[in-house]
Structure 1
């Protein structure tokens, strides 16, 4: 269709003109309407009986091709509205109608009769009612062409041909195709009419309904794929009850998707779907009934449990972290059987499994409870686990929730040195030792005499200097000594050095032993 541009377009400012376009609205002639735009009424009201079927994104383009869901033999009526760059709409155009003649046969049936590697399909079509018999005189014959929808890219092949007749009324309009693999893929079928040897048009193909499954926890999602030139109005879903028994209708839905729930994970369920459709042309048979293949599937639990909200409370005094977790608000999982707790000692490190919790009621854990880790710093994540069950391949599998919260806490390092000791071998205070320390990875401590000579060096955080000379083991005289320490503390960001220095008073006093 083409149209003359709105007479106001040339007077528009450049931005409004550049961003403008057209909207195309359509109705079928049998959907009667008495709507006509009144003075200053812009656009087309939603209840006027028209549907927006297309748009043109430039005011310079004054034409559009409608190929959206059209049927042979139906009259379609159109109006065009100008859409300006600022979103404003023009008055609607006058209505113009057009009709696609039914001068070729159209597919009506592509229905699976038996499902197997050598199955059968019922093919049917409606003959042309407006064929130009002068341009296309008899004798006539039909040819049915098809191709498997298996992704192989094979070109359509002729699967069947009718006898020849001088009049269309003398030809069959259905046939059963055999030896087709209906178990592994759908089939695309197209009917061709020949006038003697001349092909009369190329009407669109139709595919057999194809049923696919998405398994989940105690449920199966069924999706129906079908490419046809008519409108599909509803889908009748059937299941064998019990499996291997007769088919029973579960529901009739208006969308090509259905979820069958309350199933048993790992059990087999078999289905088929009947699609009901029609052309807009009232002279074509209706409803158009087509069956999918029969297909079976098993539900498996692919739904992860709820994510866990985590809180971590650090207690530096007792060197413990207390972790508490619970499902995030609004989430409810009834199949949690355990948890995984992951830990990274430093921010940015990879999380590794610290502890597996097998009791779903245990939602508290204490980190560094046995004082073997030497740190309470790090980042934590808790995930939930559901039941360990056989998967589609027979191997045991389970679902793990996403790691929603990463909670990080830091250490509070503690390291102090005394300023006096008495290495007189009387027992108390015989060695220069650090006070009880926390969260220290290592140290670098050097002790000097008053002339700057290093008399002792260690990397042991406890130090343990007994007042002897580093090289000879000779007892050093009492007096003032000096230390320089670099303490490498364990922090969330990594190993952090802290430097300090001070004086040591070595007081020997009376010896606690006698020669």
Structure 2
């Protein structure tokens, strides 16, 4: 009798299992709709179900979609056979696909984890316990941030169901791409979830020993244990090789990264749950693919390639080549890529897939497009094997082309003109300038301006005017100072494209003007002759003003040498010498710790009491050498701010001198040189001199000799050679600097109100200051400081800026509000970072005030119920620019308000009017006294509730509710 009850119970349980077991795999795809500010998304839950021995459908009573913003979850309706969102993709193995899409708008910025949960996976998954009673859970995270922008997580084009063969290596690629185009993707393996932050029970990786008879020889070649991994860069999953036949579930994350201020920041991600069906051993060899090398192509050109698939079996199996990429999904007007045959078919080996893409300017973007190719063989008596390979295509903008370049000698300006740019969707034109020309031409994948060429970005201008006309010229006046006399200036252009796609063009050829007449002294040398803290010496040399008007300014000339501290001239210049010579050695300097710059003023003999001023040279700094100590090597970097170029083709090599600790300038020896026009002003000493490795216990001292010119060698001989100071360092320094002490000028709300002269401030500034620990030991080799900012206390920090060690203050300008937190890190010459400073936060002074009476009678006075502001005052002022706004009005202005929800009720508690800011609705409400239907309300006292969301540091304290009574008065009575 007991045995019979047990059998009945087993039957009942098995029946329940058969009814409930169905979910195999899935993920959530999220697409942004419209602008980031709209915060609207299309959310699609895609699942793959089991159709064998079950009639359970996707969706239903316990199947919840959570938007991640604490709003109520929603039930997904049942979707099954006959529904347009349902399809069977493998009848034999019982696999169907279903999906559900909904649109949703988020209320504000945040990091939202969208999730879907359904009670049961399919029965019999080998690498977890009791899969039939294990909840299926997937999630996707999005970021909506006023500084980082909005994320659109990766789209995955290859289904998360795949077949493998026992004993044969398995490969899979999800075919992911970033819809925004400007973000980078990374991949990481994770454990499948049964709920948020809850993994399935007793999960085992597919290569766990429990799934193998002989684990030690479990790979395809029978000479090692099996492996299971995902390529973090391209997402290819490799399982070498599956063991027992059966069904395995895995999970992985495709994470989105965005480059912000030079640092990669993690944005959203997709968490995919995938199923691999391993079938019995098969006597088969894997097919192979021949794909092109990764390529860059200029927009407007056509890319044609042939992809070949082969099968090594004898006789060879037929092969099918498939292609997956977003570029095949573009609408016809956007010129999608095509491949043939499409749809893919099995062909005799070798099979071919013909790829063609007529690229356009609209395809330009920063990140390359990925095309994933898959080749599979055809086996009538076994499991087919597959191979995946990824091809990357980057579409870049064509180089701008020059039209003309003219020099205006009267004011030393250059007018440069270029042809209308080919790609009308370009957003900006970068204008780069350098002294002297170069024959550089970029290679096929080298976009933008290479840093090592030594060009300076002097302007970035809009590619089009506000009316849509292309901008095709620029006047260079060198920030109002005029171009430097004696120099030949050369220009190049780069076109850039707007985010989210981003991207840039090839750099143009150069066009040159000059040389500029040398009618003032031409400074040629600022060379450190001796390094010391109190006895340093710098040699300053210059050329006479050889193009000056000798009639107006007859020689001989008197020269006055001015010096200042730093790379560039401030207001602290000091007259250090008056001479008739063209060389001066400045002595008694701290050349070890300080940077100096010089200029030369020339005077012509005049009256007995005064000389006639001829002009002043450009400012030139000394060469400053810095080092970065690393394990087994020392990196040298040097820079100078000079009117000539230190990266010229005729004399490209800078010389590297080295010696032991305590060496004087004469004792250092030449160990190497570097081509500054190719490698820039950087050198890494790995002990290559005399093939002697650097000793980590030894101090090495260095000095650099730069070589440059004005691009005017017939009158200003080249090279102009200048030495840096000596700097000494040991390799392998691992001791970080001490933690800086950071302060921020915190906002005093009372003072802020008094200091405001308007209510319309749109940008604000936070001023940061820092000091170092009193201990000199841990501060001696600080090279720079890195500043980080976050939007909330404890929130994710974003790199903001890096400033040199001599700087101890920073202004974070252009902020929409004061509410920010900051930390700062000290960095030494070896690249060691200190601990971050203690975070310091600033907050806003939010304010909102509503009146208690208004008179909507159309007389232009107090006609609307509005938050306090100065609009009416300015409107009634004859000349608003000359009006002095009363302080009491400014103090009551609405400040730092994000949004407003407003409702009005009559004395019986009935809602008569509601309002919400956003789109064209302002935060001021501006209620005209009418009800929802536009009918004027009777004069009376009404009750209102206003829910105001402020921009504050802590979002949890940002909402404040204002309640009160307002008297609607008929002003004509």
Both proteins in one fold, TM over 0.5: no
**TM, length-normalised to structure 1:** 0.43
Rg larger for: 1
Structure with a larger share of its residues in helix: 2
Using the size of structure 2 for normalisation, the TM-score is: 0.24
